[in-house]
């Protein structure tokens, strides 16, 4: 795979890889970040593919579309004439497609499914399931039409941090089961792509203790397994407040009075409590940010979207991720 | 908050104190504080209600685990020391689930040592016991069944695995049964059962084609391992299924209370609503919703718009910087509270009779017994 040897950033997006694997602890917004990245990388006339593999239909929910089929479909236009396409990979369908491609199964493939063979195969050997899922992602990433790559970038909404190492480490899982044969060959091809500069694994986190801890753990695991870690993406950050001491009740009372607001004891005490909690939260966030900085990886902070992640919000995130030059 | 006006209030203390309730299952999406909630409820049951309690956690945060004295994953309940049970006479035990070990124990229980050794050595068993989609869910239920059968505890509090979807954990027993009952498995077993040398020796025309394809795709060595695994498992089928069905019935019984745990975010609330529907259709006892991480202004009488307008006015005039900051932060908090109520209302509108309680977001994460106690007080609104 000659193309795998060169990191690809012909468009100067600042994201030099062709396959972007986005992981993160559950609840950190990795699906939104993956979608925003696909949107950002498609801007200016490029074409990207956004892939999900866990059967959650998170992309469809995010974009308010019908459930995605196992088929690459137009998802949305990107600013400047680009296009984001989407695909929900299903292990069973991928296996049938794979069998069809290599063995021209046709009706026999359908018979296999009727027998429950597909369900059986992907149940008893979960490693096989992951090879099929990642195999499809690899196929889309390396596919060419004519002289051109089918996609300028593929963004994978990957399993969460707790499962990411095992998910990507397909060769280890299948080596246990298949010592020779096409599954072995397939998993080795996937492994080569995932460990090449063509791939970057990005970890999404929040400035909260558990997500940061899992980010640190996942990066250690990924690095040890030899996967290229890209960026740490801090989601939902708030603008920094000017460093200062906590406001006193007396000060606040004067301020409220100047603003023509009530200065009764309950209001003042309530606001002081809020300010104190805010201060505690900010200090914790600063210390967590420090832990992330220590990882020595490029860090991107995305703003908290007060109105939730709607289409406009996704474009805001896309612009924050991929700076248009 | 309005969403709570719609839903009846959830009285957690009533559940924890009820001697008829022997199992509390906490379930919900990942990242909503499920483990912390389970630990806080268990602590409260021991300290306040004098119950001999065990909490089964799946994947606790390191520092939370340490605070419960869980330094190693040894699959055995350990008593939590240093809690305040003098007055109540309760006890708190805690354990972390070791999925593989639980699976091994099940195998050992259902077969003789020689056969067990054969199963343990099979690569398919190794793959399935550590990575089978659903193994963690199934083993959590298995462990629950074991703890329940021992009858040593007044109350078992279970934290459920961070499943891909809430469904996984309810489906695990059924999925395993389906898997064991599957036509495919029977097909693979037929020759082994009839004493045939090769699993495909009896081939019919279509099965011959099938076996050829399978051999081509996965290789002959793999088939041999698979057939060995399946044959070994065969001896344990009855036991497996029986246990899965038993656990399922325990979950339906009146001694069980399901608590949904969510945060006021669209995904978590959607998951909770989905789960509530599932529990209803499975006839499993849903006790209520614990809505974690709810933001509530401490000065609710001051509205967001007024606060923001005043902040901008002060800022334009100059001076009072401290007050400007406080008012801006208050406005943001009040807006967030309104948004969260809207999101939470989606659940209560769909399930108006499910009792609910909101737990205010803590400024910092919880990782000691004192923190758990505070959470327990917040959940029970004391």
- Report all structural domains of chain A as residue ranges with CATH numbers, in order of start: 13-240+296-321 (3.40.50.300)
Say which of B124, B162, B329 has its CB closest to residue A275: B329
pLDDT at A1: 40
Q: A124 versus B3: which is more confidently predicted? A: A124
Domain residues for the domain of B115 are 2-182+242-298+351-379
CB contact under 8 A, A28 and B265: no
**CATH at B24:** 3.40.50.300
Q: Which two tokens stand for residue B35?
A: 């483990």
Residue A27 has pLDDT above 70, yes or no: yes
Asked if the structure places residue B305 within a domain, the reply is: no
Give me the residues of A, 183-212, that contact B with CB < 8 A. 183-184, 208-211
Give the number of A-B residue pairs with CB atoms closer than 8 Å. 219
User: At B66, is the pLDDT very low, low, confident or very high (cuts 50, 70, 90)?
Assistant: confident
Query: What number of residues does chain A have?
Result: 325
A282 touches chain B (CB under 8 A): no
pTM of the model: 0.83
Angle of CA points B39, B45, B48, to nearest 5° = 125
A 10 A CB-CB count for B253 gives 11
Q: Which of B224, B295, B363 to mutate to test the interface with A (most CBs of A within 10 A)?
A: B363
Confirm or reject contact between A256 and chain B (CB < 8 A): yes
Q: Which of A121, A132, A158, A255 is the best mutation test for B, with the most CBs of B within 10 A?
A: A255
DSSP letter at A76 equals: E
Look at residue B9 in the predicted model and tell me its pLDDT.
94
Please report whether residue B330 resides in a domain.
Answer: no
- Region for residue B246 given its phi and psi (left: phi exceeds 0; alpha: psi -120 to 50; beta: otherwise): alpha
Contact A117 B210 (CB under 8 A): yes
> Is the ipTM here above 0.90?
no
Report if residue B82 sits inside a domain. Answer: yes
Q: Give the residue-averaged pLDDT of B159-172.
A: 63
Domains identified in chain B, total number: 1
The partner residue sitting opposite B266, judged by closest CB among A210, A241, A308, is A308
Interface probe with A: pick from B131, B174, B188, B210, most Cβ of A within 10 Å: B131
B81-90: average pLDDT: 92
Which residues from chain B sit within 8 angstroms of residue A102, using beta carbons? 217
B195-214 pLDDT per residue, tens: 444 444 433 444 555 556 66
Question: How do residues A102-130 score in pLDDT, each as one tens digit?
Answer: 666 666 666 666 656 666 666 656 667 78
At B2, the pLDDT band (50, 70, 90 cuts) reads very low
3-state secondary structure of B200: coil
The better pLDDT of the pair B27, B41 is held by: B41
Joined tokens for residue B77:
């309940």
Distance of CA B349 to the CA centre of its chain: 24
Chain A positions in Cβ-Cβ contact with residue B219 (cut-off 8 Å):
178-184
Render pLDDT for B223-278 as a digit per residue (tens, 0 to 9).
667 667 766 666 666 666 677 778 888 889 999 999 999 999 888 898 899 889 98
Q: pLDDT at residue B176 above 70?
A: no
A258-275 pLDDT, tens digit per residue, is 999 999 999 999 999 999
Subunit contact B30:A244, Cβ cutoff 8 A: no
Residue pointed to by tokens 């499920």: B34
Contact between chains at A306 and B339 (C-beta distance less than 8 A): yes
> For B49-65, how does the pLDDT look when each residue is reduced to its tens digit (9 = 90+)?
999 999 998 777 666 77
Q: Cα separation of B267 and B301, whole Å?
A: 30
Dihedral (CA of A35, A38, A40, A45) sign? negative
Task: Give me the mean pLDDT over the A84-99 stretch.
Answer: 84
Does residue B314 lie in a domain region? no
Determine the Cα–Cα distance for residues A301 and A291; give it in Å rounded to an integer.
Answer: 14
**Window 69-98 of A, Cβ < 8 Å to B:** none
User: What are the two backbone dihedrals, phi and then psi, of residue A307, each rounded to the nearest 5 degrees?
Assistant: -95, 15
As a whole number, the mean pLDDT across chain A is 86
Question: Is there a domain that residue B359 lies in?
Answer: yes
Three-state DSSP class for B356? strand
**B126-141 residue pLDDT tens:** 777 765 556 677 788 8
> Does position A306 have pLDDT exceeding 80, yes or no?
no
- A162 CB within 8 Å of a chain B CB: yes
A240 contacts chain B (CB < 8 A): no
Which of the residues B35, B184, B360 would you substitute to probe the A interface, choosing the one with the greatest number of A C-beta atoms within 10 Å? Answer: B184
């Amino acid at each position: 795979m000659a193309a795998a040897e060169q990191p690809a950033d012909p468009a100067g997006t600042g994201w030099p890889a062709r396959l972007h694997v986005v992981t993160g602890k559950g609840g950190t917004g990795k699906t939104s970040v993956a979608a925003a990245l696909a949107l950002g990388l498609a801007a200016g006339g490029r074409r990207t593919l956004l892939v999900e593999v866990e059967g959650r239909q998170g992309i469809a929910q995010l974009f308010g579309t019908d459930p995605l089929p196992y088929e690459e479909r137009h998802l949305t236009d990107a600013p400047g004439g680009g296009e984001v396409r989407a695909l929900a990979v299903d292990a069973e369908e991928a296996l049938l497609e794979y069998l069809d491609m290599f063995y021209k199964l046709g009706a026999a493939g359908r018979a296999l499914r009727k027998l429950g063979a597909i369900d059986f195969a992907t149940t008893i050997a979960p490693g096989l399931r992951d090879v099929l899922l990642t195999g499809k992602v690899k196929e889309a990433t390396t596919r060419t039409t004519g002289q051109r790559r089918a996609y300028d970038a593929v963004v994978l909404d990957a399993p969460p941090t707790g499962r990411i190492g095992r998910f990507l480490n397909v060769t280890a899982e299948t080596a246990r089961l298949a010592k020779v044969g096409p599954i072995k060959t397939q998993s080795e091809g996937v492994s080569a792509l995932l460990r090449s500069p063509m791939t970057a694994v990005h970890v999404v986190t929040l400035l909260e203790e558990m997500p940061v801890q899992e980010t640190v753990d996942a990066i250690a695991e990924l690095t040890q397994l030899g996967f290229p870690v890209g960026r740490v993406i801090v989601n939902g950050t708030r603008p920094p407040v000017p460093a200062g001491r906590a406001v006193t009740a007396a000060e606040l009372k004067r301020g409220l009075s100047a603003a023509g607001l009530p200065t009764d004891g309950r209001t003042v005490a309530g606001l002081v409590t809020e300010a104190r909690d805010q201060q505690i939260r900010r200090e914790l966030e600063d210390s967590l940010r420090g832990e992330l900085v220590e990882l020595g990886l490029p860090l991107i902070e995305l703003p908290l979207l007060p109105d939730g992640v709607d289409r406009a919000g996704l474009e805001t995130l896309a612009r924050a991720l991929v700076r248009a030059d | 908050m309005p969403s709570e006006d719609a839903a009846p209030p959830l009285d957690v203390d009533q559940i924890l104190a009820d001697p008829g309730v022997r199992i509390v299952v906490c379930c919900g999406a990942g990242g909503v504080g499920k483990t912390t909630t389970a630990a806080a409820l268990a602590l409260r049951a021991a300290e306040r209600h004098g119950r001999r309690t065990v909490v089964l956690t799946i994947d606790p945060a390191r520092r939370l685990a340490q605070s419960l004295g869980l330094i190693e994953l040894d699959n055995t309940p350990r008593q939590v020391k240093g809690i305040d049970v003098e007055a109540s006479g309760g006890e708190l035990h805690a354990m972390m689930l070791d999925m593989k070990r639980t699976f091994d124990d099940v195998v050992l229980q259902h077969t003789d040592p020689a056969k067990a050794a054969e199963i343990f050595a099979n690569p398919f068993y190794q793959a399935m016991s550590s990575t089978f989609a659903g193994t963690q869910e199934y083993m959590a239920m298995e462990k629950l069944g074991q703890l329940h059968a021992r009858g040593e505890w007044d109350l078992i509090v279970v934290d459920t695995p961070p499943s891909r979807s809430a469904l996984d954990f309810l489906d695990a027993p059924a999925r395993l049964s389906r898997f064991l009952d599957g036509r495919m498995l029977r097909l693979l077993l037929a020759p082994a059962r009839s004493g045939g040398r090769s699993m495909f020796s009896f081939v019919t025309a279509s099965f011959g084609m099938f076996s050829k394809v399978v051999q081509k795709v996965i290789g002959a060595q793999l088939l041999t391992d698979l057939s060995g695994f399946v044959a070994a498992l065969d001896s344990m089928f009855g036991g497996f299924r029986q246990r899965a069905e038993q656990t399922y019935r325990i979950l339906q019984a009146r001694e069980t209370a399901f608590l949904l745990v969510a945060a006021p975010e669209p995904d978590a609330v959607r998951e909770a609503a989905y789960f509530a529907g599932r529990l209803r259709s499975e006839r499993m006892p849903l006790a209520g919703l614990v809505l974690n991480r709810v933001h509530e202004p401490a000065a609710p009488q001051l509205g967001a718009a007024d606060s923001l307008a005043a902040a901008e006015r002060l800022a334009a005039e100059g001076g009072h910087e401290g007050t400007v900051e406080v008012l801006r932060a208050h406005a943001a908090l009040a807006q967030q509270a309104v948004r969260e109520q809207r999101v939470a209302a989606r659940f209560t509108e769909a399930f108006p009779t499910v009792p609910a309680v909101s737990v205010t977001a803590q400024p910092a994460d919880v990782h000691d017994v004192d923190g758990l106690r505070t959470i327990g007080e917040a959940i029970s609104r004391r």
